[in-house]
Each structure stands twice: as C-alpha cells, then as structure tokens.
Amino acid sequence: MDLIVARAIHVLAVVVWIGGVGFVTTVVFPSFRARAPQERLAGFVRFEERFAFQARITVALAGLSGLYMVAKLDLWARFASSHFWWMHAMLGLWLAFAAMLFVLEPLVLRRRLHRAIDGPDGPRLFARMERLHQVLFALAAITILGATAGAHGL
C-alpha cells in the first residue's frame, strides 16, 4: 500500500512540476515576449515569484517519493547499469531543478534578476532564461518518455 501511495504522489508531483515548466515555456514566455523588451523580465519575475513555491513543493515531493521508492524496492543497482538510463535522467533532471529552486534562485539569481530589470541586460537575460526553459522542458519530455517506457519493460 505504501508503494502505491508513493507512486501516486510521485506521478502527481511530476505532472504538476513538469506541467508547470511546460506552461511557463510554451505560454508564459511567449506572452511576455509580446511586451516591450524592458518590460519582459519584470513581468516574468513577478510571475515566477508567485510560482516558485508551487515548484519547490512539487520538486521536493517528486524527490522524496522517488527516493522512497528506490530505497523500498532496493533499486540502487539500476544506477550502475546504462540499461536504466532513464533512472539517471530522472535523477539528473531532479538535481538540476532542485539546485535551481533551492540554491541558485534564492541565493544568486533573485538578486541578479532584480538588478537586471531596470538595466540594459534585462532583455538578454530574459532571452537566456527562455532558452534555458526550452532546453529543460525538452529534457523533461525525453525523460518522461524514457521513464514511462523503461518502467513498463522497454
């Protein structure tokens, strides 16, 4: 029963987390791109500050539930095999988002973003953030496809 609950929490957390990344990447960034270049970053930062709590909760739940399932099912040996590349992909993606949301964003990026809002680097930083989100969303989609297929025997 506990594994069923852990898997359900894991899937829900991943759906909300990566769904949020997809929404930001395919809807939010393009909508802010329609604004004047100096307004893009400010609008995105205001949006991101409201979304960050949800992202942190879902990333934490995905990580905790994933760790629980690996430990409970004793799946550690899978990390030693390239056949289970999707396990490495899930962990790598999670580590990248956890580092961004829990370390880089609060300690480094928040101040840099607020300084850049009124500066000449604002439009360039917005474009760089949009590209990063596109790459992360593509990697997340590949990881989800691989993990789903791999978990079901492919």
Q: In this predicted model, which residue has the larger pLDDT, 50 or 28?
A: 28
Summarised one tens digit per residue, pLDDT across range 56-115 is 999 999 999 999 999 999 999 999 999 999 999 999 999 999 999 999 999 988 888 888
Radius of gyration of the chain (CA): 17
Summarised one tens digit per residue, pLDDT across range 125-139 is 999 999 999 999 999
**Domain tally for the chain?**
1
* Residue 30 to residue 121: CA distance in whole angstroms: 19
* Residue 97 to residue 95: CA distance in whole angstroms: 6
Residues of the domain holding 108: 2-151
Is the per-residue pLDDT at 50 higher than 90? no
